[in-house]
Structure 1
């Protein structure tokens, strides 16, 4: 644990023993740690030179060693490492900006070799600090969902994942179990009848999508850097997310349930289909065994739910929401 501050495993073990004991001799530390006294003495001498332990010679007795206060002994090194990391972070940000705007940078970067694509895919997720948006198509082959270790690491460090899954992808072996595990880990998943392109976006900084149209399973990809194009991809994802149906585990069993808050009942669906087919309200009522006024009232309620001001607008909303 203290290796980041420059302590080796043996040094950390002896330092911890001293912190627990308060003071100890070479003989006592060797016995506690199961190490030869010569090795313990050599380690203590080195640590004393770095200010980590303090020898306390007592006349007529073996030398006692005490641990220097951790806040003093390790605090300075901790601050120095933090300063180095902060400086490195600023350097990386400056280099990223230079790469984006320089002669060899730009808005997009084309990657065709499969190992390079996998490497960039992992880096993109590792760079995410807040959120990863993704769209998943069937037959993923470059980085299968089960092999995406960077995703699981991102979730563990608190990155929010939102994924839109093509409905057909859920029929592939193991995908339902994978989705259930992802939901249990805190991810949010929506399902859509059509996902035209596989896509992944890290924060509002980077995105990756296929290079060629209609070749979602091919390795060749485009890496999109921050800018107008990336903002358009973010907006596209958000529109698709609004129309996707959120997935959740079934309350019983091991399957998935779709949440459809805008769904209408079977009677309204049949009635709407007849109205949109061009039948009069009187004819629709006769088909369904209700009065013309009932048809008009139910259509009015659907228009209010959809925020439509005309039946033409209701037809558009019905197609968008899957009502008919």
Structure 2
């Protein structure tokens, strides 16, 4: 918990024991922490440098903890000051970067990123740097059904960044695919489904995009595209795929809707997945329902709608507002 002020696990544990005991010598601390004496000695010396511990003047060799209310507040104040300085420096650098990017050189419009860790790191940079909107195309072969993760998605939601995500249908059949899509919807992301996406893609604020350069292999690579005609083309590609995709709706019904005669949450999940192109068997598997249960619910929806075919059911669901167009 104190890692933010520069303490590792062993140093924090040593400080906590000193606070609990009031004073202790190094061998006693090492025994209580189940650590070697030299490692404990280094931890205590680190606490001393940070003003969290001091040697007892009355009993040489013993260490006492500095009052947490005073010592920790001093460290937190210093951390806040350093963070404010870093924020000001970042703002100046961003201003300088925008000024330089106003007239970019041709060779600066595209970056090549190589290596799995470098590609993953740059991907998160692009997403977390967005201020207004992130657009994502997700293929059925990439890890993560929405191309995002819960923590990054939640941070984006808090900052008010909108997300539009198009998922290739195959991605929903991957382990955890439905769960990830449901989490994205719960965060307020707009999610659509299509049979095929031409490429994986992420676009941030229509000013930066990232696409894979290699299909796989031991050394993955990606292109980071800055504002240019190429970026405009990639944005147009996303918009075209978005227009042709079907909205995904999972568990959106509430008790009030049910009392008005609308399908319940499970019915709407089944209907949404069927409209996304999944089979009865796939829907049953991913919702952990029996195949006959799915088929019975679909039949019930058809009877409620007064239709005789699933095509008619889809049209009726749109007309009644059960699903978005």
TM-score by length of structure 1 reads 0.55
**8 A Cα contact 1:125 1:132, kept in partner:** no
TM-fit CA distance, 1:13: 1.7
**8 A Cα contact 2:194 2:244, kept in partner:** yes
Counterpart for residue 29 of structure 1: 29
TM-fit CA distance, 1:125: 3.1
C-alpha distance 62-75 of structure 1, shift in aligned 2 (>3 A):
same
* 1:259-295 alpha-carbon deviations (Å, 9 max, x no partner): 79xxxx789x89xxxxxxxxxxxxxxxxxxxxxxxxx
C-alpha distance 247-217 of structure 1, shift in aligned 2 (>3 A):
farther
Q: Equivalents in 1 of 2:82, 2:38: separation in Å?
A: 32
Q: Equivalents in 2 of 1:35, 1:221: separation in Å?
A: 45
* 1:93-135 alpha-carbon deviations (Å, 9 max, x no partner): 2564366346546783164x8x369845651333323553122
Counterpart for residue 184 of structure 1: 182
**8 A Cα contact 1:106 1:225, kept in partner:** no
Counterpart for residue 259 of structure 2: none
Q: Unaligned regions of 5+ residues in structure 2, if any? A: 252-265, 278-306, 313-318, 320-324
Q: Equivalents in 2 of 1:163, 1:266: separation in Å?
A: 33
CA RMSD of aligned residues (A): 5.1
Q: Equivalents in 2 of 1:76, 1:258: separation in Å?
A: 55
TM-fit CA distance, 1:190: 0.9
Counterpart for residue 125 of structure 1: 124
The structure with more radius of gyration:
1
Q: 2:148 aligns with which of 139, 143, 151?
A: 151
TM-score by length of structure 2 reads 0.54
Counterpart for residue 14 of structure 2: 14
Counterpart for residue 91 of structure 2: 90
C-alpha distance 200-193 of structure 1, shift in aligned 2 (>3 A):
same
**8 A Cα contact 1:108 1:225, kept in partner:** yes
Aligned residues: 254
- Corresponding residue SS for 2:225: strand
TM-fit CA distance, 1:5: 2.9
- Corresponding residue SS for 2:98: helix
**8 A Cα contact 1:189 1:246, kept in partner:** yes
C-alpha distance 178-206 of structure 1, shift in aligned 2 (>3 A):
farther
Q: Equivalents in 2 of 1:220, 1:247: separation in Å?
A: 31
